[in-house]
Amino acid sequence: MNHLIAPSILAADFGNLQRDIEMLNQSKADWIHVDVMDGLFVPNISFGFPVINAVNKHAKKPLDVHLMIVDPDRYLKAIKEAGAAHITVHYETCPNLHRTIQVIKELGCTAGVALNPHTPVHLLEDIVADLDLVLIMSVNPGFGGQHFIEHTYKKIRDIKALSEKLNPSLLIEVDGGVNDQNAGTLFGAGANVLVAGNSVFSSADQLGAIEKLKQAVS
């Protein structure tokens, strides 16, 4: 399976967001990652529907929307209508996770579940066959620029083993502290989608930074 790169616009220059989206359009990125935060599930607020609509207006690549919010079921249809191609919810916020996943799929979106660093992979055993994607948080969610949590590698290997038994086509995405120094090791552990924020947007050569991630080998 090809390695996919999904730069996170949480690290973009919000004063020049159209410029940064157009840079991503020209780059070798595959998806555009959009982190939606509510200040409740995570200690930060990012952006809502007007910004997602604005991003979608200019984006030529699929929007990968990561909902770090309580009660995400209330907003799934609106997120789809704002332009999401992929919708990921958190295991920790969905008491009726199977139903939530089915709604996302009925909307025509790729359905994903994210796990916080402290949440064990085995909790997904009963639903992994129904998922398109699992997102492993490699930092505590809420803020960009955090240090990568090394235990992430084991979690990737664990979800890879689970997927090989129950869902071989599962996408394994990693979000947090991703850069060109660890990208190859992440791919080698079994990840196939990497979210990168600061390592892309703080680079003097943003297109080159994305290309390095895309070409990383274990």
Angle between helices 17-26 and 206-214 (to 10 degrees): 40
Tokens read off for 30: 């595959």
Tokens read off for 56: 């979608």
Structure-token match 């990968």, residue found: 64
Distance between CA atoms of residues 52 and 66, nearest Å: 12
Of 20, 35, 64, 132, the catalytic one is: 35
- Residue 35 known to be catalytic: yes
Of 30, 132, 175, 180, the catalytic one is: 175
Helices (runs of H) and strands (runs of E) counted in the chain: 8, 8
DSSP labels for 36-70? EEBSSSSS-B---HHHHHHHHHH--S-EEEEEESS
Distance between CA atoms of residues 146 and 54, nearest Å: 27
Q: Strand pairing of 4-7 and 193-196? A: parallel
Could you give the maximum distance between any two Cα atoms of the chain, in Å? 46
Catalytic center residues: 35, 175
